[in-house]
A and B are shown apart, each in its own frame.
Chain A
């Protein structure tokens, strides 16, 4: 992209140099040639110049009124004035009007020529100045339209009147090298405009400004190289200068055409772009719509499944509750009648019968405990209390006083960290710590007093799925018999026991309940252990759990 731009810039610079050098060389080669035109040729050339200037003017004005860029207004009005002045110049210097003018043709032609050139060159400088002001002051610096009209109108009219009524001084100075030094005044303005537009730099990227620069360059050359040396009317330099003036007009005209062409082209391509964009937008929209409906479908599916899952979960909880509740009823009868049998009829039984009865009653007893545990397990979710402020310090104190007898009997030592205040289900917290501390005492080594450490720490999110950012990490560590690390998940499963009933009492529900309680509080629990060295149960409970409403 940059390379291409650079190439264009280089080509344009080359064009400017070649143009300047070519005309200088041209002048050197033709110098001294005594070819001579005529007043009629001059009139025709000026008429053509007038028409060209009018064309440039109208195109520039059209351009100005479509895009309101101040440079086109000044250019347009510059060429309107120039057209009038050129036309005036053509008319007053024609053979028909010459008798009515106060000055001789030898003075009138050069001076009215200069007037047109002067006006155009000034307008070019003003155009540059207007651009500069806008650049510096924004829209505040904008030259008013009316000012432009007023200035060009006045200047043109003043010229008309001036030439019509004022006798002119001489225009030719054969005694100096430049026969028409007055030509240097517009040449100077053209030069300023040329330098200005070159410095502005737009010519590098803007084709119109490139042609404007060409026009200014040619205008400048016409003034300096040719017209200033013109020693006589209708001479070679004179006619070349006139031709170059028209070429400079044509350059602007080309620039305007190119600009207009590029506007149409841009419009066309932007239309194509717009259509393509519209099409791809429509395609995108279609696919988005279909994606959206797919997403909605999936979401609905998901919601349905979630509901079904929730329902089946609730049904399961209810089932567990009702089942365990209703199982109690016949069991109660077994125990009651077993008791009646033992009390009233034991004498009639032989030893074997007595043993059977005892085993039956023991089994019924165990089943009562199992059902009770199952009931409390299902109650964790279905019959949980609301979450409120719970002081874990008080909870653990309560647990320790419940376990007082067991602690004393086993000479247990308990080291407690200060425990935090959390939001939780009060009863379930009590149950949780009862299970954890109770287990630590229960699974002690036969030959050593239990030592239990309760460590508390505050940690940041333990896993990515949790909506909570920080957690209380509460460790219950013992020096008991422990278990093989491979069972670290199994210990939390309901009715899973690692030891025989005769060794350690229990149904294998305590840790299952513990896990359920912790999970109901959006937390987690895990266990690590080395066999015969002790076990550590770690509970994570969210710091920022919301109270129930």
Chain B
């Protein structure tokens, strides 16, 4: 396991959108073990995700400052799936700068192509093992939050 720099001044927030409660639980535990992320939030479907990002519905008290540093997005969800949610995010000027990494079980070529066309920042399949999940979280977060230079959002 790599030794990640925890001294970064800014606390890191990850928002994970997944309808599967088991996956959310495993993810939460993995994030804990990864010791890199300060804050994990969850959305259960595309609409919930967009409400959170736009501070609507039950998220009215959230401000722009609370926007996550990285979104991990499942593709197949009820009400609004990951593809539609991604499309909405990339059309919304306020939130389109947030990196969105697809994390799904689908290995279908058409899903990979489609989501990159819609503006996905990356595409990973859900790791099979727990240790794999921890490593994935570390690598992806480190890359998208610490390494990559993104345009200023605020």
Contact = CB atoms under 8 A, between A and B. Distances in A.
B105 A328 contact: yes
A339 B129 contact: yes
Interface string A333-346: 10111011001000
B29 A332 contact: no
B105 A329 contact: yes
A325 B108 CA distance: 11
A333 B22 contact: yes
A335 B128 contact: yes
B130 A339 contact: yes
Interface string B114-136: 00000000000010111101000
Contacts of B22: 333, 336-337
Contacts of A337: 22, 26
A186 B55 CA distance: 138
A322 to B, nearest CB: 11
A485 B99 CA distance: 61
A340 B29 contact: yes
Q: What range describes how many residues of A lie at the interface? A: 10 to 19
Nearest to B133: A336
B126 A332 contact: yes
Nearest to B128: A332
Contacts of B129: 335-336, 339
B148 to A, nearest CB: 29
Contacts of B133: 336
Interface residues of B, number: 11
A340 B26 CA distance: 9
Interface in A312-336: 325, 328-329, 332-333, 335-336
A336 B26 contact: yes
Contacts of B105: 325, 328-329, 332
Contacts of B131: 339
A340 B128 contact: no
Nearest to B107: A325
Nearest to B126: A332
Contacts of B128: 332, 335-336, 368
Contacts of A335: 128-129
A340 B27 CA distance: 12
B31 to A, nearest CB: 14
A333 B24 CA distance: 11
A339 B29 CA distance: 12
Contact of B130 (A325, A340, A368): A340
A340 B22 CA distance: 12
Contacts of A340: 26, 29, 130
Nearest to B23: A333
A164 B26 CA distance: 145
A112 to B, nearest CB: 116
B66 to A, nearest CB: 30
Interface in A324-374: 325, 328-329, 332-333, 335-337, 339-340, 343, 368
A343 B105 CA distance: 24
A368 B129 CA distance: 12
A251 B137 CA distance: 125
Contacts of B130: 336, 339-340, 343
Interface string B135-153: 0000000000000000000
Q: Interface centre among B22, B23, B126, by most A CB within 10 Å?
A: B22
Contacts of A339: 129-131
A340 B29 CA distance: 10
Contacts of B23: 333
Contacts of A332: 105, 126, 128
A335 B29 CA distance: 15
A202 B104 CA distance: 101
Interface in B68-102: none
Contacts of A325: 105
Nearest to A344: B29
A339 B33 CA distance: 14
Interface in A273-319: none
A12 to B, nearest CB: 95
Nearest to A328: B105
Interface in B1-53: 22-23, 26, 29
A329 B105 CA distance: 8
B106 to A, nearest CB: 8
A542 to B, nearest CB: 29
A321 to B, nearest CB: 10
A98 to B, nearest CB: 126
A325 B137 CA distance: 24
Contacts of B29: 340
Interface string A141-180: 0000000000000000000000000000000000000000
A328 B130 CA distance: 15
Contacts of B126: 332
B109 to A, nearest CB: 10
A336 B128 CA distance: 7
Contacts of A343: 130
27 contacts: A325-B105, A328-B105, A329-B105, A332-B105, A332-B126, A332-B128, A333-B22, A333-B23, A333-B26, A335-B128, A335-B129, A336-B22, A336-B26, A336-B128, A336-B129, A336-B130, A336-B133, A337-B22, A337-B26, A339-B129, A339-B130, A339-B131, A340-B26, A340-B29, A340-B130, A343-B130, A368-B128
Interface of A: 325, 328-329, 332-333, 335-337, 339-340, 343, 368
Given A328-B105, A332-B105, A336-B26, 5 more contacts: A332-B128, A333-B26, A336-B130, A336-B133, A339-B130
6 closest cross-chain pairs (CB), A and B? A333-B22, A339-B130, A336-B130, A336-B26, A332-B128, A329-B105
